[in-house]
Structure 1
């Protein structure tokens, strides 16, 4: 007799060995029809897989988070089956699930989006056939014999240890796979092929180039439509296109992966940094600056030469090796060590906007999101052991303040010791425990991200959420007990003896370039008034009114606003339209009536117009809005 324990604690007993499907049927026929898989003692299995002994079982339906990955895994097989029907000479390699979908790498002739309708039509046939999907196991020898004409599958099987190997069959199609999969192909009710790209077998450029075909799949057509609508909105917000259109930044072949910021981009940049400096000054930080290039001995002492050398740009000067800094930390150590410190000075919060360089592979460079030269809003906090919790809480509250200003929510992850690290087990345990205690006191939920810490210490990663619900890892808080030891940092305690300080590394913007790109997409290029590179554009309706328009500009600029005048001999409607396309928040039209009355007509991006606003009232209202860094665009809509 086999006893199955369900999540509610109830127990089902079976005389014969049950499958997960049998367990579902024992509850209800409707549940069995809706199940896609099962979790048995914490391991996902196919619905028709037998459960040979007593176990805890959770049945998986489309409502469960694991179901979508199983669906997409099966959809990759359906796509591969369809491709083999359409292109019989194709050779399959691997087809994993990835974020938001799946792909399959296939050795075949070139494929483009023009070929997708034909492949999708064959996929629909396979879905409509509701082909049962069943797992079978064979010996390694039988697997090699089965794939004797498939070179890529043969190579994968040869790399596997001896023993049984699992296949999955659906109709005439069989694939090498661990599973699990859906019970039948009919569950895939909504899918779409998305794009194609080239890929090398096993990511080795000396191997054959393959066709990588991407797709996505959902249980419901409404979910697919929502996802496609999301992609369309994300496409409209693409920071690279908006950056070019709004004249913010550019890239050039002479410096791959290193952005050039234009005048308007620098206005946004400097506004971001001015806010950063204000918030940090109020939080008790001092600002510092360290050199961009330091010699090899420093990087050996910090551990970067051994652990991070492949990502560093180096040079030889006067027969000595140097490296351009990939991070600011070692320079911060030298600053602290420059003079003796007392416990009375601690905590010491040193912040730096540091330009760093990291050698990223050209294939991963992506606009402002992945660059080779970028600025980090670093800070190094030196403290006593009893100050750990308070300082980490202070950082988290500063994170909350700054992200809140931009309307960005966030969640937290605690990343623990990676395989490649420096420092003792005791140091890592103490550092990790310190972060956990601070997070527990902070009171917000967090998850453990095992093995993803920095090589010198555990960290709290801060993942922000933008207007589209996408998450981005920007801020990080790292507790480090190793670098202070490597650099022999000390302070004099109350006992008049030397002690080793604890150190926090932290960033909030992270890479300022990347944060800039995120904000462009978060706001869809329509920056809030306080951050907008041009806050006001003045449009005289004819040349005779240009002198008065310039007078208005000078008045507003003297009040601290960023103002332009469009004096071109274009129609007013065209100038308004162009200002709207450039997302200028406030457009002032100047006609004879406005000049005579000394007033302004104020047009906002939503198309509303307010007439008869005095220059003084306009400046007061707008200045207050900017001072508060209000995200609300409705300055003149009450």
Structure 2
């Protein structure tokens, strides 16, 4: 058999070989760090026997699949430690997740942070024991009988839901045996650096009708230094938590009277409206028209779009005049009605329609998270109607616009192209044409991208933009989706150059995604210290004493006349205290005014970026900050002031 490796080189063997044995043949060093394999694109165990020609990739911890197997093995070590310490605990599921793993357990006595310390200590013993990990299978009946005997009801339920003829695989390390599809490492020995990070509640199988289990989160790495770096990053993330900063900076609040429905406070509205002003500006420049569609529309519309059949459980509905209505979870059907409001010609296309539409989606209460996961949000949608030959140029235009947005905020990003899924609609020709148009646009722009085979929407392929924030976390925000199905469902038409009727193709796209979620990301990206143009308060005037309050008010009035968002601190406090308070509020500029400043019509400038910037004439300061705001400059911190 011929094995083709990732670099294109080949290995030839005259007998079947396990993935691990092939890794050893390539390099003993590679075999030592191998975590899993990938055979013809499928993630497999190192124990997997290869017996035919294939493409093989040996995965280390540095790859997504290798890290997945490493984390999954750690979750089993944690479960083994739990069972050793608390034999009565029932195990549910323990998968890998981004940056780590979790295990859901059912414990009569609630587990606490103190228990995590004990579990970690037992895990260290299991790692030190260097237990070999083996895989074996049982029939469905044998597997059910095994877990009934072990009194593990959640495992029994999982097996009962599997097909009758399914092969049930198990992994064993020492005395511990778990139901698992794998893959896993060869032993517990490589798991050198790990940490159990938190406890949370989780409904069994995600249903509020089921029992609440305890979910234990953790992470693991091959090196202690990498673990420490990760934990430091997580500590920094806690400091940047948008829920904490949103409260401290007076941006937004959440109330039990409206779970999942954010309240924007005055300063938060300034931030939000500044973002929307920018959105409108760049869309006008790029040839978009803005529309607004109703927040509630009749059932008939949602049946035509397919949402009533496929998305109804996430929609809020009501009855008006004996007719079913739904609050919109998406803006696109309303946009299509606008397109159909008058006859369209090929001369009208492409037609780019943007909408800042408020949508509502029913999210489970346990999934709500500040501004990141809410039940109502403003989606910065745009729908582009075009002819087939315009697809490539329109995709490039959207990609450039999204790039401009992310560059402004200092985000790095990577791009993924998702292709036709199994449950898709439309012809092979349509899909091939659309996918090649997206691929060609990305190639024309020179944008590197990863292909996600089969991960497109059911109505068309898509491009997703995953941005990276200042502490290395990634967020999926921008997306470009091609859609053949809604124009077909709604019978959209335009008159072509040949005088005949034709069906347009539609692009769905967002740049911010959800305005609320994007604000949450920005709060954490900037740790609340927004660029001056975006800051709710751009300048704080700080009179040294009441004697200079009148001059302070004069300075404030001059700044406001120049459209600079300004506050004045009128409290009878010492100037050092006022400066510290303004710094805590992340205000870009503080203007200290006293006798000398009043006499010379100047201000003493302190900034978040450079500390004490000295005295400047008021006119010069206004000119400089006006230019900074106009250019939407993201001024970097030059000195770190002492707190």
Relative to the length of structure 1, the TM-score reads 0.93
The one-character-per-residue Cα deviations of 1:346-370 (angstroms, maximum 9, x if unpaired) are: 2222211111111222221111111
Rate the CA distance shift 1:394–1:38 in 2: closer, same or farther, 3 A. Answer: closer
Segment of structure 1 superposing worse, 496-505 or 259-268 = 496-505
Rate the CA distance shift 1:564–1:54 in 2: closer, same or farther, 3 A. Answer: closer
Give, in angstroms, the shift of residue 591 of structure 1: 1.0
Distance 2:168 2:584 in 1: 59
Contact preservation (8 Å) 2:91, 2:104 = yes
Rate the CA distance shift 1:360–1:53 in 2: closer, same or farther, 3 A. Answer: closer
Matched, 1:559 2:594: no
Matched, 1:493 2:492: no
Q: Which residue of 1 aligns with 2:81?
A: 82
SS state at 2:403 partner: helix
SS state at 1:583 partner: coil
Distance 2:391 2:54 in 1: 44
Distance 2:338 2:2 in 1: 65
Q: Which residue of 2 aligns with 1:126?
A: 126
Q: Which residue of 2 aligns with 1:116?
A: 116
Contact preservation (8 Å) 1:431, 1:457 = yes
Give, in angstroms, the shift of residue 194 of structure 1: 1.2
Aligned ranges 1:258-407 → 2 under 5 Å = 258-407=261-410
Aligned ranges 1:250-261 → 2 under 5 Å = 250-261=253-264
Rate the CA distance shift 1:532–1:131 in 2: closer, same or farther, 3 A. Answer: same
The one-character-per-residue Cα deviations of 1:554-602 (angstroms, maximum 9, x if unpaired) are: 1111112111111111111111111000001000000101111111100
Distance 1:636 1:169 in 2: 55
Contact preservation (8 Å) 1:427, 1:482 = no
Distance 1:28 1:415 in 2: 34
The one-character-per-residue Cα deviations of 1:164-187 (angstroms, maximum 9, x if unpaired) are: 533222222222222232222111
Distance 1:531 1:312 in 2: 33
Give, in angstroms, the shift of residue 314 of structure 1: 1.6
Rate the CA distance shift 1:240–1:481 in 2: closer, same or farther, 3 A. Answer: same
Contact preservation (8 Å) 1:46, 1:183 = no
Matched, 1:170 2:173: yes
Rate the CA distance shift 1:430–1:44 in 2: closer, same or farther, 3 A. Answer: closer
Distance 1:488 1:31 in 2: 57
2:414 to 389, 408, 411: 411
Segment of structure 1 superposing worse, 357-366 or 587-596 = 357-366
Rate the CA distance shift 1:631–1:182 in 2: closer, same or farther, 3 A. Answer: same
Contact preservation (8 Å) 1:37, 1:183 = no
Rate the CA distance shift 1:534–1:55 in 2: closer, same or farther, 3 A. Answer: closer
Q: Which residue of 2 aligns with 1:237?
A: 240
Rate the CA distance shift 1:324–1:185 in 2: closer, same or farther, 3 A. Answer: same
Give, in angstroms, the shift of residue 31 of structure 1: 4.7
Distance 1:268 1:159 in 2: 49
Q: Which runs of 5+ in 1 are unaligned?
A: none
SS state at 1:561 partner: coil
Aligned length: 635
Distance 1:500 1:14 in 2: 56
2:203 to 200, 203, 223: 200
The one-character-per-residue Cα deviations of 1:483-506 (angstroms, maximum 9, x if unpaired) are: 223333333332333332222222
SS state at 1:479 partner: strand
Q: Which residue of 1 aligns with 2:159?
A: 157
Segment of structure 1 superposing worse, 580-589 or 367-376 = 367-376
Q: Which residue of 2 aligns with 1:135?
A: 135
User: Aligned-pair RMSD on alpha carbons?
Assistant: 2.6
Segment of structure 1 superposing worse, 618-627 or 300-309 = 300-309
Give, in angstroms, the shift of residue 611 of structure 1: 2.1
Give, in angstroms, the shift of residue 55 of structure 1: 6.3
Rate the CA distance shift 1:32–1:418 in 2: closer, same or farther, 3 A. Answer: closer
Rate the CA distance shift 1:136–1:379 in 2: closer, same or farther, 3 A. Answer: closer
Q: Which residue of 2 aligns with 1:550?
A: 553
Q: Which residue of 1 aligns with 2:578?
A: 575
Distance 2:206 2:379 in 1: 31
Distance 1:329 1:20 in 2: 48
Distance 2:39 2:498 in 1: 58
Relative to the length of structure 2, the TM-score reads 0.92
SS state at 2:189 partner: helix
Distance 2:576 2:629 in 1: 28
Matched, 1:615 2:618: yes
Give, in angstroms, the shift of residue 624 of structure 1: 0.6
Distance 1:68 1:539 in 2: 52
Rate the CA distance shift 1:423–1:571 in 2: closer, same or farther, 3 A. Answer: same
Rate the CA distance shift 1:602–1:184 in 2: closer, same or farther, 3 A. Answer: same
The one-character-per-residue Cα deviations of 1:110-154 (angstroms, maximum 9, x if unpaired) are: 111111111111111111111122223344454344332333333
Give, in angstroms, the shift of residue 463 of structure 1: 1.7
Distance 1:301 1:27 in 2: 57
Q: Which runs of 5+ in 2 are unaligned?
A: none
Distance 2:278 2:448 in 1: 28
Segment of structure 1 superposing worse, 209-218 or 130-139 = 130-139
Distance 1:209 1:634 in 2: 46
2:510 to 507, 519, 523: 507
Give, in angstroms, the shift of residue 53 of structure 1: 6.2
Give, in angstroms, the shift of residue 3 of structure 1: 7.1
Segment of structure 1 superposing worse, 564-573 or 195-204 = 195-204
Distance 2:116 2:88 in 1: 18
Segment of structure 1 superposing worse, 272-281 or 345-354 = 345-354
Give, in angstroms, the shift of residue 517 of structure 1: 0.9
Rate the CA distance shift 1:29–1:358 in 2: closer, same or farther, 3 A. Answer: closer
The one-character-per-residue Cα deviations of 1:320-344 (angstroms, maximum 9, x if unpaired) are: 2222221222222222222223322
SS state at 1:266 partner: helix
Contact preservation (8 Å) 2:393, 2:441 = yes
The one-character-per-residue Cα deviations of 1:72-92 (angstroms, maximum 9, x if unpaired) are: 111111111111111122222
Rate the CA distance shift 1:287–1:588 in 2: closer, same or farther, 3 A. Answer: same
Give, in angstroms, the shift of residue 520 of structure 1: 0.7
Segment of structure 1 superposing worse, 371-380 or 222-231 = 371-380
Contact preservation (8 Å) 1:410, 1:462 = yes
